[in-house]
Amino acid sequence: MSALKIVKMGNPVLRKTAKPVVFPLDSKTEDLISRMAETLMHEEGAGLAAPQVGDSLRIVVALLGGAPHILLNPVLTMEGEDMEWGLEGCLSIPGLRGVVPRFQRISWTAQNMAGEPVSGTAEGFSARLLQHEVDHLDGILYPDRMPDLRLLTHVDEIENFLPGEDPGSHEGEQEHE
């Protein structure tokens, strides 16, 4: 087992609608999921979607409450209309961060590796993370969600971009998603 290569913005696989995972899982898909979890740790990311490693399947590995969760065929439901603006990055768009509005609270359903239904709720950073990752399954990248592309910055300019703020304390910021 080894970490997988992350594909970058511009690769057509990131713009495709990913296909549902079918059960029971074949060994190739099981292997892909294990390697995605390994890749997420290797990249010190918070979330990874299968299209980001070149596989157009509805698989997300995400750190929720600090623990890795494997969500197969995830579906999100927005809870309420409250939006929150926060800084996002993406392993497929290295070196950049952007301010993106996301729903503050969501609920989610998915299947685990046995094909059993799993569900939960998320708010704040976890809700942002899941919206970002599930967007990957639909060919959407975070700049597509930015109403104002002037709120896109290079990481090297983040201190100028967020004057007077410690970027590390910025709500919703995450080095990699």
Task: By CB under 5 A, name the binding residues for Ni ion.
Answer: 90, 177
Of these residues, 88, 133, 173, 177, which one is catalytic? 133
- Backbone torsions φ then ψ of 24, nearest 5 degrees: -65, 155
Exposure string for 62-76, b = 16+ CB within 10 A, e = fewer: bbbeeeebbbbbbeb
Residue nearest to Ni ion (CB): 90
- Backbone torsions φ then ψ of 38, nearest 5 degrees: -65, -40
Provide, rounded to whole angstroms, the least separation between the CB of residue 34 and Ni ion. 20
**173/177 with CB nearer Ni ion:** 177
**32/90 with CB nearer Ni ion:** 90
CA–CA dist 164, 114 (Å, integer):
48
Exposure string for 13-38, b = 16+ CB within 10 A, e = fewer: bbeeebeebeeebeeebeebbebbbe
Provide, rounded to whole angstroms, the least separation between the CB of residue 89 and Ni ion. 8
Provide, rounded to whole angstroms, the least separation between the CB of residue 164 and Ni ion. 28
**17/116 with CB nearer Ni ion:** 17
Provide, rounded to whole angstroms, the least separation between the CB of residue 173 and Ni ion. 14
Based on the residue annotation, tell me whether 84 is a catalytic residue of this protein. Answer: no
Taking alpha carbons only, the member of 43, 51, 49, 154 closest to residue 98 is: 154
**90/137 with CB nearer Ni ion:** 90
Query: Catalytic residues, which ones?
Result: 133
